[in-house]
Structure 1
Amino acid sequence: MNANCTKLHLFIDGELGDAEAEAFRSHLPRCPACEEGLKDLLQLEMLAARALGGAALEAEAAAPAPAPAPEKPDTKVVPLRPWARRAYQAVIPLAMAACLSAIFVYRQAPADVPGVVFLEDMGTRGLEERLSHPRADHWRPYGPMRGSESSVEALPLRPLADLEEREDLRGVAAAYLLRGDLRQAEAFLEREKPSADRDNDLAVVALKQRSLTQALELLNRALRAEPRHPQALWNRGLVLRELDLLDRAADSFEQVAQLGEQGWSQEARQEAERLRGLYGKASK
């Protein structure tokens, strides 16, 4: 690391003088750490703006454009939104330095999303609930993380940007849910079109927040639309179990078992039998 490495944020914000900015542009292609840092900062800023400011941006885009002012010599056109201005200032000079392809955030043909986004390489699953996204619903034995454990890998930003570019909002939400970030997951699910899958995943958020009545309402709505929805049946069993309605919870898990899904059906049948045993003891 040299002195230029400490100026990345200033460069992104357009706060360097001409000489310092030129020195940083010369430094960037020779410094992999700064190049990676610039990619991540741009992706994080754009992703946050889309997730949390989508409605405001849409309203601004729909508003009538003001009449343009007469152009004066040497006038520079500055984008209205600060994050867009900073991204523009960062990307255009790098294009002049012949490294645009290395920092362009949204690629024309996104690469396949790596398994780390959905924690597919882990031997156990840390989430007892089931998510509707196929990449997040691969069966593995349930092994809840302890409070002191921190083995879950951090969420990489570039694949997350790829998912959002593909409008796979449930995929982004699933990646956050697998890491316990309920606020971000809910923000992306709220942008998703209504569906049984969306209701199921919102129910997982509600269940994690201990809003059991809301979770049950969402799951019942999903099952009215798709009565054999496997994730909704499974999660309904979890909610009913939390409500101490053990016999009804066992029924819901038994319905999952009858679907014949590899791994899930066996675990569902075992849970149904366990719950029926508990219900029988409680009834005596």
Structure 2
Amino acid sequence: MSDERPTVRPVNLGRLVEIAHFCTGGERSTTDVSSALDVSKRRARETILESVRIGLIEPVGDADDEVYTATAVGKRFVDIVEESNWGSVSNILETRSPHYGEFLDLFEDNDTVEPDDALERLEDRAEFTPYEYNETSLDVIGGWAQRLGVVQRNAFDGSFYTTRGDEIPSNFPYVLLSIADEFEESAGVNLQKRYLSIPEIRECTCERLGCGRDVFDDALVRLAQQNIGKVELSGAPIDTGAKDARYGIKTIELADGDELISTDQSSEQVMRGVEQLGKQYYYFAVYDRDLQFNEDDD
């Protein structure tokens, strides 16, 4: 397997962290990596070669020995992971990984990028480079960015978008009503006669406003508290469109056990409701469109 492979290898962020951390302990062979990561030698080799390309580890000794150790960059990478400094982790990958860096460049002039458009633009940019992109590449590098909090991905249509901090804009109620109208128009049902899925509205609103999912949840609960009788949170998780959610939410955090970090990808997180007074709500209904919204009301 050549280290000149043009596409990014299917190595998730957790594996990059694991191998860099493992190789800080000394010289490691492919067999060592395979055993430590509990993967086949082929998968271990893929992880090694992508980590070498990024510069997290490097070969030592004769080329035939296939022994690797962490580089200075790799050691720094592990240090900032241990600090949960995910922004700096992203900065290292942006600088060291040609594929990841090009992906993030897509958002310099765009807040939202659809998958097909992202792939087309990446392919155009790579025309005179040794690199290539495909759907798997997009999932891999997009997954790194999601876990590090650089972008979010709409769980239903796959669009990538950037977020703008922890503030919700004052036009939140109007955007929410507009999205609710779009759902109702597509369903052909009057808004006041149907409960709408909070998970589906959450994904669309977060993309439209560039806000985090937790920010949306807090804003929706505040809106309900400030507009009693005008809107309602209701319902149990009977069927909130989980079958239509193609992409789970990807996360990364420090682990409590022997492992350095843990990663997660879950459609259950996508389909969660919002919590108010200890109870989960999965549906949203509007009875009066004249809504008040005080962003500072706790």
Higher relative contact order (Cα pairs below 8 Å, separated by 6+ residues) = 2
Larger Rg: 1
TM-score (norm 1): 0.28
> Between Structure 1 and Structure 2, which shows a larger proportion of strand residues?
2
TM-score (norm 2): 0.27
> Between Structure 1 and Structure 2, which shows a larger proportion of helix residues?
1
